Amino acid sequence: MSDKPIHQDLSAQVLDRMFRQDGFSQWMGMEILEISEGHCVLRMTVRKEMLNGFDVAHGGITYSLADSAFAFACNSYNHLSLSVETSISHSRAVREGDILTAKADLITQTKKIGNFQVIVLNQHHEIVAVFKGICYRTDKKVVE
């Protein structure tokens, strides 16, 4: 019998519903390391086809990883949530073969609005990007 709190199980169900059918996150090669209410950790390895013309990862790669972690963390409460505004600062070049880990955490919330921070680290535990995401919570559920 599981000793996980029921909410964590629900977060896992939401994630399962979202991730299983998320073709782009799967193309990216994202793996789920952690999921719980207001929190998500994802990991991926940067491939050659993800590089831009300067031989570093396209900004869209790091953004996409962070945005997925944000989306899973937002919806982890089982309120269907919409991204309202996201921003990302890229602080260090990402190269082929780098292993990126994105950690999303809730910073503040009101009834309708959630404010998350996602820190993206490389395999040397250096911050490569800082992401902020704001979501709007609808009254719908992700899983019944």
- Residues interacting with its own copies, by CB under 8 A? 17-25, 27-28, 48-55, 57-61, 63-65, 67-68, 71, 83-92, 107-110, 112-113, 115, 117, 127, 130, 132, 134, 136
Find out whether 41 and 103 touch, Cβ atoms under 8 Å. Answer: yes
Closest CB to its own copies among residues 8, 83:
83
Q: In angstroms, how far is the first alpha carbon of the chain from the final one?
A: 22
Closest CB to its own copies among residues 33, 127:
127
Closest CB to its own copies among residues 5, 16:
16
Please return the burial class of 76, using the count of CB atoms within 10 Å of its CB with bins 0-12, 13-18 and 19+.
buried
The CB-of-103 to its own copies minimum distance in angstroms stands at 13
The CB-of-111 to its own copies minimum distance in angstroms stands at 10
Buried b (16+ CB within 10 A) or exposed e, 129-144: bebbbbbebeeeebee
